[in-house]
Structure 1
Amino acid sequence: MWQNDGWNVRVRLGVLTPHADVGPESELRAMAPADVGIHAARVPFGAMRPGGEMDKTIPLAPIRAFAEPPYVDEATERLAAAPLAAIGFAFTSSAYVIGASGEEAMLERLYTRAGGIPVVATCTAMVDALRTVGASRLSLVDPPWFDAELNALGRRYYETAGFAVPFSVPCPLPSGQTLVRPDELYDWVSAHVPDSADAVVLGGNGFRAVGVVERLEARLGRPVLTPNQVLLWAMLRAAGTSTDDVAGYGRLFALAGPAPFPASSPGPGGRV
Structure 2
Amino acid sequence: MWQPDGWDVRVRLGILTPHADVGPESELRAMAPPDVGLHTARVPFAAMGRGGAMDPVLPLAPVRAFAEPPGVDEAAALLAAAPVAAIAFAFTSSAYVIGPRGEGHMLARLGERAHGLPVVATCAAAVEALRVLGAGRIALVDPPWFDDTLSDLGRGYYEDCGFEVAYAAPCGLPSGQTLIGPAALHDWVAPRVPDAAEALVIGGNGFRAVGAIGALEATLGRPVLSANQVLLWAALRAAGAETGGVAGYGRLFAHP
- With the shorter chain as reference, the TM-score category is over 0.9
Distance 1:167 1:220 in 2: 15
Per-residue deviation, 1:196: 1.4
Deviation by residue 1:8-62 (Cα, 9 ceiling, x = unmatched): 0000000000000000000000000000000000000010010101011011000
Letter in 1 for 2:25: E
Aligned to 1:262: none
Aligned to 2:238: 238
Equivalent residues in 2 for 1:92-103, closer than 5 Å:
92-103=92-103
Per-residue deviation, 1:97: 0.1
Distance 1:192 1:237 in 2: 32
Per-residue deviation, 1:191: 1.9
Deviation by residue 1:199-220 (Cα, 9 ceiling, x = unmatched): 0000000000000001110110
Aligned to 2:180: 180
Aligned to 1:153: 153
Letter in 1 for 2:98: I
Report SS of the residue matched to 2:241: coil
Report SS of the residue matched to 1:244: coil
Per-residue deviation, 1:193: 1.4
> Percent same amino acid at aligned positions?
70
Ranges of 4+ aligned residues in structure 1 off by more than 4 Å: none
Unaligned residue ranges in structure 2 (runs of 5+): none
Please state if 1:128 is matched with 2:128.
Answer: yes
Aligned to 2:138: 138
Letter in 1 for 2:107: L
Aligned to 1:27: 27
Distance 1:101 1:29 in 2: 30
Equivalent residues in 2 for 1:183-198, closer than 5 Å:
183-198=183-198
Unaligned residue ranges in structure 1 (runs of 5+): 257-272
Per-residue deviation, 1:245: 0.7
Aligned to 2:201: 201
Report SS of the residue matched to 2:214: helix
Of residues 183-192 and 68-77 in structure 1, the stretch that sits farther from structure 2 once superposed is 183-192
Equivalent residues in 2 for 1:1-272, closer than 5 Å:
1-256=1-256
Deviation by residue 1:39-94 (Cα, 9 ceiling, x = unmatched): 00000001001010101101100000000000000000011110000000000000
Per-residue deviation, 1:194: 1.4
Question: What is the aligned-residue RMSD (CA, Å)?
Answer: 0.6
Deviation by residue 1:165-223 (Cα, 9 ceiling, x = unmatched): 01000001000111111110010111221111010000000000000001110110000
Letter in 2 for 1:209: A
Letter in 1 for 2:168: S
Per-residue deviation, 1:253: 0.5
Q: How many residues align?
A: 256
Distance 1:107 1:200 in 2: 25
Of residues 182-191 and 12-21 in structure 1, the stretch that sits farther from structure 2 once superposed is 182-191
